[in-house]
Amino acid sequence: MASQTVGRVAWDDVRRQATDFLSRYIQIDTSNPPGNEAAAARMISETLAAEGIASELYTPAPGRPNLVARLRAPDPFARPLLLLHHMDVVPASPGAWRVPPFDGEVREGYVWGRGAIDDKGLGAIHLIAFLLLARSGVTLGRDVILMAVADEEEGGGLGAGWMVNNHWDDIECEYVWDEGGAGSHGIIGDNPVFSVSVWEKRSMVLRLTARGQGGHGAMAVGAPIDRLVSALHALQGYRADARFNEVTREFFRRVAATRPFPVSWLMRNAGHFAVRPLLSARINKIPVVNAMVRDTVVTTILDAGGKPNVSPETAMATTNARLLPDTDPEAFLQNIRNVVGESIDVEVEALTEASPPSPVASELFEAIEKAAVAEVPGAVVTPIQTPVITDSRFFRLKGAKAYGLIPAILTTDDLNTIHGVDERISIDNLVRGIKITLDAITRLCARDGASASDQRR
């Protein structure tokens, strides 16, 4: 049988639809807390219904739905692919932004606003690719599920975690395409690099507390705030050793092709005890790569005092640690206690469960790689161990193979807007992401191994 294709696509129309959808999606404020994803789920449901595609809402708490839609294979030969994104976003402080964060403004070739990249941009890419697949008439050999979830930014307890624990029969799948990695340019070498997350670090939230005698602000010496500041200063100087596992070694092996000798040689030999110090010195200059191979800890919240002339009796700080998958949490906790000193109480407030890696040698990874290189010739596609936590962990713990990629080519400036100010994604990246996604889906899910090569015409 000749290979199926999705046929010709009116990409100018797709460009307009994707831009309009993402702009309207951003205008729905789903800041978490509190989330309030109901209006976002309703907009997605209505967009699907307009194309004759039914969807179902699963609601664990008022105003916090999760949406599932499915394109069914008539005679499936394999378990489904699930396209996953989260509808909630982190809060934004409008005063710091060039544009209002929930206006979804379109200007300078970008869609601006909170969630443009994390994660409503990926949601728009998945949704439009899903609609194009439905329109194409391609015969599927496995179901394709579209899932939009609540609550990822607060741990996923009402979102992906709740769905996996309570409705697994409705979303059981072989593969998951989630966030966690991205395409980039200019961060590592001169080639575009698509970093596909196959594993992730664990999150450990620590509360540091200094207690003692407060007093008048003019006379207090060695007060809790002073001791906490000293402890946090010591924590700033903490640097765990770089450690390399099968995923990070493969990452360096693949990106070595983008760098000249001797850096390329160091990357190909990552993990060798003699090479590690030399490579680590270079990694220190690339924050996102540095975070991939070390345990890290960053202070995120301070809480002390209420009057300018009173030294409080208690001072607290919250820190966010990200642990490599094989780090012993108890040993790490003891290291932190040793760093901050005995006068500081250190308590664990939250720790995510360790999840296994997804294999690099898989049909979905191969489909993503082929689709990315077809759209961006010369690009390098590599697995990564992402420093962030994602909803993928819930699926990996269930045995599904999960991969994280925003299929866009982002610059350092773009990446710095995630959870920051002026978050935005270019319209060109939206279209590029839809092309890559549609191509990869058809390679994986079409009954005869269809390609989407005609889509780029």
Cα distance between residue 222 and residue 227, in whole Å: 6
Q: Domain check: are 195 and 211 in the same one?
A: no
We report the CATH number of the domain holding residue 242 as 3.30.70.360
pLDDT class for 454, splitting at 50, 70, 90? Answer: very low
For residue range 328-379, list pLDDT tens digits in order: 999 999 999 999 999 999 999 999 999 999 999 999 999 999 999 999 999 9
pLDDT class for 1, splitting at 50, 70, 90? Answer: very low
Judge whether 390 and 199 are in contact, CB under 8 Å: no
We report the CATH number of the domain holding residue 25 as 3.40.630.10
Domain that holds residue 317: 202-351
pLDDT at 453: 46
Q: Domain check: are 74 and 162 in the same one?
A: yes
457 has a pLDDT exceeding 60: no
Cα distance between residue 233 and residue 96, in whole Å: 27
Q: Domain check: are 286 and 163 in the same one?
A: no
For residue range 378-397, list pLDDT tens digits in order: 999 999 999 999 999 999 99
Select from 332, 351, 370 the last residue of a domain.
Answer: 351
Tell me, yes or no, whether 371 lies in a domain: yes
Other Cβ atoms less than 10 A from the Cβ of 74: the count is: 8
3-state SS class at 431: helix
Tell me, yes or no, whether 5 lies in a domain: no
Q: Domain check: are 58 and 170 in the same one?
A: yes
Tell me, yes or no, whether 436 lies in a domain: yes
Q: Domain check: are 178 and 99 in the same one?
A: yes
Of the candidates 174, 250, 201, the one whose C-alpha atom is nearest the C-alpha of residue 393 is 201
For residue range 204-214, list pLDDT tens digits in order: 999 999 999 87
Select from 289, 321, 351 the last residue of a domain.
Answer: 351
For residue range 246-282, list pLDDT tens digits in order: 999 999 999 998 888 888 898 898 878 788 788 887 7
**How many domains does the chain contain in total?**
2
pLDDT at 281: 78
pLDDT at 279: 83
pLDDT class for 220, splitting at 50, 70, 90? Answer: low
Q: Domain check: are 129 and 212 in the same one?
A: no
Asked, as a colleague might, if the bond just before 287 is cis with ω within 30 of 0, I would say no
Tell me, yes or no, whether 250 lies in a domain: yes
**Range of lowest pLDDT (9-18, 113-122, 255-264, 308-317):** 255-264
Q: Domain check: are 130 and 154 in the same one?
A: yes
Tell me, yes or no, whether 4 lies in a domain: no
Tell me, yes or no, whether 6 lies in a domain: no
pLDDT at 222: 75
For residue range 145-194, list pLDDT tens digits in order: 999 999 999 999 999 999 999 999 999 999 999 999 999 988 777 789 99
pTM for this prediction:
0.93
Q: Domain check: are 236 and 296 in the same one?
A: yes
pLDDT at 287: 84
Q: Domain check: are 280 and 398 in the same one?
A: no
Write the CB contacts of 439 (distance below 8 Å, at least 6 apart in sequence).
367, 370, 371, 374, 375, 451, 452, 453, 455
pLDDT at 364: 98
Q: What is the mean pLDDT of residues 95-112?
A: 97
Select from 303, 318, 351 the last residue of a domain.
Answer: 351
Write down how long the chain is: 457
φ/ψ of 380, rounded to 5, equals -105, 130
Q: Domain check: are 342 and 364 in the same one?
A: no
Tell me, yes or no, whether 190 lies in a domain: yes
Q: What is the mean pLDDT of residues 98-105?
A: 98
4 has a pLDDT exceeding 70: no
Other Cβ atoms less than 10 A from the Cβ of 120: the count is: 31
Cα distance between residue 52 and residue 46, in whole Å: 10
Q: Domain check: are 56 and 20 in the same one?
A: yes
Q: Rg of the chain over CA atoms, in angstroms?
A: 23
Q: What percent of the chain has pLDDT over 90?
A: 82
Tell me, yes or no, whether 222 lies in a domain: yes
Other Cβ atoms less than 10 A from the Cβ of 214: the count is: 18
pLDDT at 449: 58
Q: Domain check: are 22 and 139 in the same one?
A: yes
Q: Which two tokens stand for residue 34?
A: 């509190």
Other Cβ atoms less than 10 A from the Cβ of 99: the count is: 18
